[in-house]
Amino acid sequence: MEQRQHVRTNIEGITVYLGDKNGLCTATLKDISRFGVCIADIPRTLHVKNGCFDAVIHGEGVNFKLHLQEKWRSQQGDVIVVGAAIDSVPWDWAELTLRNELRLGLNRPNTSVRIHKSYQV
Protein backbone atom coordinates (compact mmCIF):
# COMPACT_ATOMS: atom_id res chain seq x y z
CA MET A 1 0.00 0.00 0.00
CA GLU A 2 1.29 3.45 -0.92
CA GLN A 3 1.80 5.90 1.89
CA ARG A 4 1.98 9.43 0.56
CA GLN A 5 2.12 12.74 2.36
CA HIS A 6 0.27 14.60 -0.39
CA VAL A 7 -2.75 13.68 -2.46
CA ARG A 8 -1.86 12.46 -5.94
CA THR A 9 -4.47 12.98 -8.65
CA ASN A 10 -4.56 11.19 -11.99
CA ILE A 11 -4.48 13.48 -15.01
CA GLU A 12 -5.70 12.91 -18.56
CA GLY A 13 -4.68 14.48 -21.85
CA ILE A 14 -1.70 16.56 -20.73
CA THR A 15 1.47 16.48 -22.82
CA VAL A 16 4.92 16.79 -21.25
CA TYR A 17 8.02 17.86 -23.17
CA LEU A 18 11.14 16.53 -21.46
CA GLY A 19 14.59 17.99 -21.84
CA ASP A 20 17.71 16.15 -20.78
CA LYS A 21 21.35 16.29 -21.84
CA ASN A 22 20.51 14.35 -25.04
CA GLY A 23 17.70 16.58 -26.29
CA LEU A 24 13.90 16.60 -26.17
CA CYS A 25 11.17 13.98 -26.16
CA THR A 26 7.42 13.95 -25.61
CA ALA A 27 5.61 12.00 -22.88
CA THR A 28 2.30 12.00 -20.99
CA LEU A 29 1.53 13.34 -17.54
CA LYS A 30 0.09 10.46 -15.50
CA ASP A 31 -0.53 12.10 -12.13
CA ILE A 32 0.39 15.16 -10.07
CA SER A 33 0.72 16.29 -6.48
CA ARG A 34 1.76 19.57 -4.90
CA PHE A 35 5.41 18.54 -4.92
CA GLY A 36 5.72 15.91 -7.62
CA VAL A 37 4.68 14.35 -10.90
CA CYS A 38 4.53 10.95 -12.52
CA ILE A 39 5.35 10.97 -16.23
CA ALA A 40 4.48 8.00 -18.45
CA ASP A 41 5.00 6.96 -22.06
CA ILE A 42 8.60 8.20 -22.15
CA PRO A 43 9.92 6.75 -25.43
CA ARG A 44 13.59 6.54 -24.46
CA THR A 45 15.92 6.52 -21.47
CA LEU A 46 16.33 9.92 -19.88
CA HIS A 47 19.92 10.99 -19.43
CA VAL A 48 19.63 13.18 -16.37
CA LYS A 49 22.34 15.47 -15.06
CA ASN A 50 22.80 15.14 -11.29
CA GLY A 51 19.41 13.37 -11.23
CA CYS A 52 17.64 16.43 -12.70
CA PHE A 53 15.84 17.21 -15.94
CA ASP A 54 13.40 19.85 -17.21
CA ALA A 55 9.77 19.44 -18.21
CA VAL A 56 7.31 21.69 -19.97
CA ILE A 57 3.74 20.65 -19.19
CA HIS A 58 1.27 21.83 -21.78
CA GLY A 59 -2.39 21.08 -22.40
CA GLU A 60 -5.93 22.34 -21.80
CA GLY A 61 -4.65 25.82 -20.95
CA VAL A 62 -2.11 24.50 -18.43
CA ASN A 63 1.47 25.62 -19.07
CA PHE A 64 4.35 25.10 -16.66
CA LYS A 65 8.10 24.81 -16.96
CA LEU A 66 9.39 22.67 -14.10
CA HIS A 67 12.84 21.60 -12.97
CA LEU A 68 12.49 18.00 -11.76
CA GLN A 69 14.53 15.65 -9.59
CA GLU A 70 14.06 12.01 -10.58
CA LYS A 71 13.01 9.83 -7.63
CA TRP A 72 12.26 6.52 -9.38
CA ARG A 73 11.77 4.97 -12.80
CA SER A 74 10.28 1.77 -14.14
CA GLN A 75 10.15 0.07 -17.51
CA GLN A 76 6.64 -0.78 -18.76
CA GLY A 77 6.98 -2.57 -22.06
CA ASP A 78 8.71 -0.30 -24.57
CA VAL A 79 8.22 2.87 -22.52
CA ILE A 80 9.54 4.28 -19.26
CA VAL A 81 7.59 5.77 -16.35
CA VAL A 82 9.34 8.28 -14.06
CA GLY A 83 8.35 9.75 -10.72
CA ALA A 84 9.95 13.10 -9.93
CA ALA A 85 9.93 15.79 -7.27
CA ILE A 86 9.48 19.39 -8.35
CA ASP A 87 12.41 21.62 -7.47
CA SER A 88 11.22 25.04 -6.22
CA VAL A 89 7.48 24.49 -6.68
CA PRO A 90 5.94 27.49 -8.51
CA TRP A 91 3.06 29.14 -6.67
CA ASP A 92 0.76 28.62 -9.68
CA TRP A 93 1.43 24.87 -9.55
CA ALA A 94 0.67 24.63 -5.82
CA GLU A 95 -2.48 26.67 -6.35
CA LEU A 96 -3.62 24.41 -9.23
CA THR A 97 -3.17 21.21 -7.23
CA LEU A 98 -4.79 22.65 -4.11
CA ARG A 99 -7.83 23.89 -6.06
CA ASN A 100 -8.27 20.46 -7.63
CA GLU A 101 -8.06 18.81 -4.22
CA LEU A 102 -10.60 21.21 -2.71
CA ARG A 103 -12.96 21.07 -5.69
CA LEU A 104 -13.08 17.28 -5.49
CA GLY A 105 -13.04 17.06 -1.69
CA LEU A 106 -10.02 14.79 -1.87
CA ASN A 107 -8.69 13.33 1.33
CA ARG A 108 -6.95 10.24 0.04
CA PRO A 109 -4.28 9.42 -2.58
CA ASN A 110 -4.85 8.16 -6.12
CA THR A 111 -8.14 9.84 -7.01
CA SER A 112 -8.76 10.54 -10.71
CA VAL A 113 -9.32 14.09 -11.90
CA ARG A 114 -9.58 15.90 -15.18
CA ILE A 115 -8.34 19.48 -14.95
CA HIS A 116 -11.46 21.57 -15.29
CA LYS A 117 -11.21 24.59 -17.60
CA SER A 118 -12.32 26.95 -14.82
CA TYR A 119 -9.18 25.97 -12.90
CA GLN A 120 -6.70 26.81 -15.62
CA VAL A 121 -3.63 28.79 -14.75
Tens-digit pLDDT profile for residues 66-77: 999 999 999 988
- Count of domains forming the chain: 1
What pLDDT shows up at residue 121?
A: 38
Count of C-beta atoms within a 10 Å radius of residue 82: 23
Domain coverage including residue 44? 9-112
Asked if residue 120 belongs to a domain, the reply is: no
- Any domain includes 43: yes
Q: How far apart are the first and last CA of the chain?
A: 33
What per-residue confidence (pLDDT) applies to 72? 94
Residue 40 confidence (pLDDT): 94
pLDDT of residue 46: 84
State residue 106's pLDDT score: 61
CATH number of the domain that 107 lies in? 2.40.10.220
Which pLDDT does position 3 carry in this prediction? Answer: 52
Domain assignment present for 4: no
Q: What is the pTM of this model?
A: 0.77
Residue 37 lies in a domain: yes
DSSP one-letter string for 61-92: TEEEEEEEEEEEEEEETTEEEEEEEEES--HH
Domain-embedded: residue 117: no
Q: Is 59 inside a domain boundary?
A: yes
Q: Quick check: is 94 in a domain?
A: yes
Q: Helix, strand or coil for residue 106?
A: coil
Torsion, CA 58, CA 18, CA 110, CA 33, rounded to 10: -70
Q: Which portions of the chain are predicted below pLDDT 70?
A: 1-6, 60, 106-121
Q: Residue 82: inside a domain, yes or no?
A: yes
The helix/strand count (H/E) of the chain reads as 1, 8
What local confidence, expressed as pLDDT, does residue 28 receive? 94
Beta bridge partner(s), residue 86? 68
